[in-house]
Amino acid sequence: MYRYVIFDLDGTLLNTLKDLAAAGEYVCAQNGWPAHTLDEYRYFVGNGIPKLCERFSPADQRSPERLARTLEQFTRYYDAHKEDATAPYPGIDTLLDALQAAGVVFGVLTNKAHPLAKGVLEHYFPGRFTFVQGALPGVPVKPDPTGLHQLMAAMGADAASTLFVGDSNVDIRTAKNGGLAGCGVLWGFRTEEELRGEGADHIAADPAALARIILE
């Protein structure tokens, strides 16, 4: 049994893909840039919103000054529309109930900006998450383990008893960089092949399977 669990947010707890893509496409349309498909956004996301903005921007629109304006456009639109199509994945509330009943301490580590992360978590999971670490100035984002170790210290977690759960290679790499076991989930944005290729210790097909991995 794992006594501590740290979740990724986008693609793991919440299906945020459509709202992230809509914000990106709004920026592209406003600037007359080429459009992208929803599937393309599955690979644009995962390394934080600044990197997402860089990925959907044309190659000749990636100067630091231009990217700063793009990030401002994106953030303003996304903050106003971040709950239009976003929803928890089916079974997540039941999973959290089971973990809470078993005394498992859980938190969230995400590359989403910290204020945005806190906002969506409180909206969709009110009172559920005491321990949240989003992207903060001066703190490297995943897969760098700095934020992970800060969150673990706040939780009182030790590496041997902690599982990191996410849907992408970034998350499995974060777990490895932090000295943790990593579990890849198959309901998110990326593929089982990617997760296994990155060396996931566990694979969960659905939240019920994840509960068994954590509690058994």
The residues annotated with a catalytic role in the active site are 8
- Could you list the beta-strand ranges (E) of the chain: 4-7, 14-15, 87-88, 105-113, 131-135, 162-166, 181-185, 202-204
Q: State the Cα–Cα distance between residues 26 and 213, nearest whole angstrom.
A: 40
Q: Is the sign of the CA dihedral 111, 113, 115, 116 positive or negative?
A: negative
Taken as a whole, the chain contains a residue count of 216
Helix or strand or coil: residue 202? Answer: strand
Is residue 157 within a helix (H) or strand (E), and if so which, with residue range? none
